[in-house]
Amino acid sequence: MTDSDHTTRRTFLGLAGGAAASGLVPIVTVRTADATPAMLSSAIRNIVGEANVRTGKVKLDIPPLVENGNTVPMTVSVDSPMTADNYVKSIHVFNEKNPQPNIGNFYLRPGAGRAQVSTRIRLADSQKVTAIARLSDDTFWSVTADVVVTLAACTEEAI
Amino acid sequence: MPSALINVPARAKRGDVIEIKTLMSHIMETGYRHIASGEVVPRDIITSFTCRYNGTEIFRADLYPAIAANPFITFFTTVTESGKFEFEWIGDRGFSETASASILVE
């Protein structure tokens, strides 16, 4: 009895899983204008290659709630002494749901003194923003922040 | 008419870490917007920003359409000697602008 129970449960789960997977396909095709999580991870892979990305060291200052997605202030700083043999080589910022997953790449030198970069970005939707830092020993560190956007960028009509 | 705003302290002590603020006026058209008739507005963005300190590159950035209009970028550097910071922005449709600022290091 227990055996047949297991079978039905497994069959049911298998079917449900299959349905969920096929159910995803139309959603993806409808939202081709958005960067998908797959595009985000391939954009990150382009930068980090096969290396491990660890969480920590990086700080991302971005408002959690923004009214206007057309200009969102953002500051990325990395905990680094910025000496000749221990410094931040580059900082890469990515988003999840804009039409394109990249936001910017910033390349630093040990002489920077402080590993910190600020700029203003566009966000097309409420989403996650990820910053990844590459240190001089070629390790990668990341941080992710959630941002809620009231007025989306990119989608409005040009006049 | 493109114009740059640069903020570099006029003088500093040797070894100080200074903040450099830059702003270039530019539409940064994403290439994802449509006009009423449905045509896509072609992309027109700044793709690259570089800063040189007495000829040596100290900071560089690759920009994407997700950077807001009139790209505002700030970063830091340690000052070692008096001299000149040169800034260069390069973009679509042959966009190329430069600016510079001097610093007196005591």
Parse chain B into domains and list their residue ranges: 4-105
Q: Write down the number of H helices and E strands in chain B.
A: 0, 8
Q: Look up tokens 């999840």; give the residue.
A: A96
A3-16: b or e for each residue (b if 16 or more CB lie within 10 Å)?
eeeeeeeeeeeeee
Question: Which residue, A49, A54, A44, is CA-closest to A79?
Answer: A54
Judge: domain B4-105, CATH 2.60.40.10.
Answer: yes
DSSP state of A86: B
The residues in A 51-80 lying below 8 A from B, measured between CB atoms, are: 70-72
Global pTM value? 0.83
pLDDT given at position A14: 53
pLDDT (tens place) for every residue of chain A, 159 residues total:
444 455 555 555 555 554 444 444 333 333 445 667 788 899 999 999 989 999 999 999 999 999 999 999 999 999 999 999 999 999 999 999 999 999 999 999 999 999 999 999 999 999 999 999 999 999 999 999 999 998 877 556 655
Chain B residue closest in CA terms to A107: B60
pLDDT given at position A151: 83
Q: Is the pLDDT of residue B74 over 90?
A: yes
Chain B residue closest in CA terms to A120: B68
User: Would you state the structure tokens that stand for residue A61, as one six-digit string?
Assistant: 């200052």
3-state secondary structure of A36: coil
Q: Which residues of B touch A33 (CB under 8 A)?
A: 32
pLDDT given at position B36: 86
Query: What is the average per-residue pLDDT within B55-66?
Result: 96
Closest partner residue to B66 among A109, A115, A122, by Cβ? Answer: A122
User: Would you state the structure tokens that stand for residue A125, as one six-digit string?
Assistant: 């939707």
Q: Is the pLDDT of residue B60 over 50?
A: yes
